[in-house]
Amino acid sequence: MLLTRIKGPRDLDLLSQEELIQLAAEIRSFLVDAVSKTGGHLGPNLGVVELTIALHRVFESPKDKVLFDTGHQAYVHKLLTGRQDFAGLRSKGGLSGYPSRAESDHDVIENSHASTVLGWADGLAKANEVLGREDHHVAAVIGDGALTGGMAWEALNNIAAAKDRPLVIVVNDNERSYGPTIGGLANHLATLRTTDGYERFLARGKEILERTPVVGKPLFETLHGAKKGLKDFIAPQGMFEDLGLKYIGPIDGHDIEALESALQRAKRFSGPVIVHCLTQKGRGYTHAEQDEADRFHGIGPIHPDTGLPVSTDAASWTSVFADEMVRLGKERKDIVGITAAMLQPVGLKKFADAFPDRIYDVGIAEQHGATSAAGLATGGAHPVFAVYATFLNRAFDQVLMDVALHKCGVTFVLDRAGVTGTDGASHNGMWDMSILQVVPGLRLAAPRDAEQLRAQLREAVEVKDAPTVVRFSKGVVGPAVPAVGRIGGMDVLRAPAADATLSLDSSNLGSAPTDVLLVSVGALAPMCLEIADLLDKQGITSTVVDPRWVKPVDEALAPLADRHRVVVTVEDNGRAGGVGSAVSQALRDAGVDVPLRDFGIPQRFLDHASRKEVLAEIGLTAPDIARHVTGLVAKLDGRYDSESAATVD
């Protein structure tokens, strides 16, 4: 096989065009076989095989920087840069599903939040200029909708301002907005537009004509307009060239020879160039090509022969939300849905099918989505903006200044909250409950099970004068966790055995203080009940409560905490500024002087692994937490020693 001979990009130089075509076929076969076993981003990578080969033939990575936006289309790049062991893709100790600096010097951008590549490219090109590295080049691949993000256009505005700073922007257009322009004339004009001599000729002509009295300037403008009109007729480049960017294309993104020719011309040009490539997402794998939803954008393990999932999961958090949104839509005509280019992944597809006139896909533009939601709310609708928790970070200012400041009734539904695992550092939803704590008036719910998700979503959309947030985990929703009572707005999930028959409120939980108050956040409720069981085996009494709404902190929590010796919070969020911090502040404000320990995600970027593996690695498991709490209670009893906290298992 040719693929096994490719240890690095320069090995591609030894292959003929016929061999490159064979290599492309081998790569597609490899991807289908490997990703069907592990899951991952299959469709986007099948679409960029020839493009990635051409990039690495033309540019000399890692001296030249080849950047991908977003990184889910970098599997072929990994294969061509010496990483062909995909057995552990997205698993602990295996390859990341995105570029990773720890894996290779050929990888640059890890964050995998879309629309950032052109900002990176602008900075790298500037660094080359400042340091005099004329033999270094930057090629930025942007596609899969990333050009819908505002950051991309901010960067283009800056890139276009530097006419003599080399930078190649490859637009991976896999939606086929228009057919490719082919033929000798188009190729000839593309060559002319990226030839320095042609540019010097135009500049000299402009200078001479503008010095000509009376008719010079009008004549130049007429000629320039005719030239521009001709180019726009031949190729749809007008928008980019109006920004001052040279344009090549559209190019058949599956023709390696044509791609190399275009990229070579762009590389030789002394300024920024757009190379527009038309590719087919899922190319070469029939099941992906025929998938109308997303061309197998992201998949779990599948049977490669049929394209069907290996296993069918139970109901997911996302599916519970999806069904409840449809029910809400039938009941209320003011409910509208908003998504940022992720209609299916965030569960709004069913709503869109049922109410096509009440769904808005804003593209990869979370900032715009949040502000548009504020406008919708001001106009009398109630928008539900469903977005991955990690991507809400990008719209924080809009949540704060557009939605909250104006007291707009907007509901944000955060999917994939907490540890998501296999997608790695950039996709863990571990920031939302921290950054949202500072937003005045915002209310934040963390449902523990499907029933609570349905109930709290309904509570959220009833709020008309403030933003509300409902966040839930990735994957299968767990079993129902019933409450045994309620204190204030909090559900009591477990009470001390002696008080099990009491009507629960903050005044009658028993005459003597209970040892531990466990504040359980969201989907970690089963873990907190397990912690309580482990503590009980050590003779430590506990109460477990689910606040349901973690912001603002329930007023009943402080007096309840005052009847306990220790307060413990457990959350699937970063510890800094999270729910534990908010509870601690609430207790201080109420004058309740009870020791508090907050358990959550440490403030560091977490490597990819399964959710269970990540939780074990960071010590967010029932035995780990029970061990710490046992030690704390022993210390309060004056009987703490090095062995007292090590007996819980």
In this structure, the strands spanning 564-574 and 542-546 are unpaired
The encoded tokens of residue 131 equal 């340091």
Give me the long-range contacts of 450-455 (CB less than 8 A, separation at least 24).
Answer: 450/315, 450/317, 450/320, 450/477, 450/480, 451/480, 452/546, 452/548, 453/317, 453/320, 453/321, 453/324, 453/477, 454/320, 454/324
Active site residue 394: yes
Which residue in the list 260, 324, 366, 459 is annotated as catalytic? 366
Which residue in the list 57, 281, 283, 494 is annotated as catalytic? 281
Give me the long-range contacts of 332-335 (CB less than 8 A, separation at least 24).
Answer: 332/382, 332/461, 334/380, 334/381, 334/382, 335/381, 335/382, 335/384, 335/461
In this structure, the strands spanning 490-494 and 468-471 are unpaired
Q: Is 135 exposed, middle or buried (0-12, 13-18, 19+ CB in 10 A)?
A: exposed
Active site residue 366: yes
Phi-psi region of 410 (alpha: psi -120 to 50; beta: other; left: phi over 0): beta
Which residue in the list 394, 494, 565, 575 is annotated as catalytic? 394
Active site residue 110: no
Of the candidates 431, 427, 345, the residue with the CA atom closest to the CA atom of residue 396 = 431
As a whole number of angstroms, the distance between CA 535 and CA 586 comes to: 26
**Residue owning tokens 């010079």:** 216
Residues 6+ apart with CB under 8 A from 625: 527, 531, 568, 570, 599, 619
Sheet holding 411-415, edge to edge: 359-361, 335-339, 382-388, 411-415, 468-471, 443-445, 549-551
CA 189 distance to own-chain centroid: 39
**Which amino acid is residue 92, in one-letter code?**
K
As a whole number of angstroms, the distance between CA 159 and CA 221 comes to: 25
The encoded tokens of residue 113 equal 């939040």
Give the CA distances from residue 114 to residues 119, 148, 457, 475, 524, in Å, rounded to whole numbers and listed in that order. 11, 9, 28, 23, 30
In DSSP notation, 423-449 reads: T-GGG-B-SHHHHGGGSTT-EEE--SS
The encoded tokens of residue 4 equal 């096994």
Element (H, E) at 542: strand 542-546
Cite the DSSP H helix spans in 332-449: 349-354, 366-378, 389-392, 396-398, 432-435
Query: Contact 75/68 with Cβ under 8 angstroms?
Result: no
Active site residues: 281, 366, 394
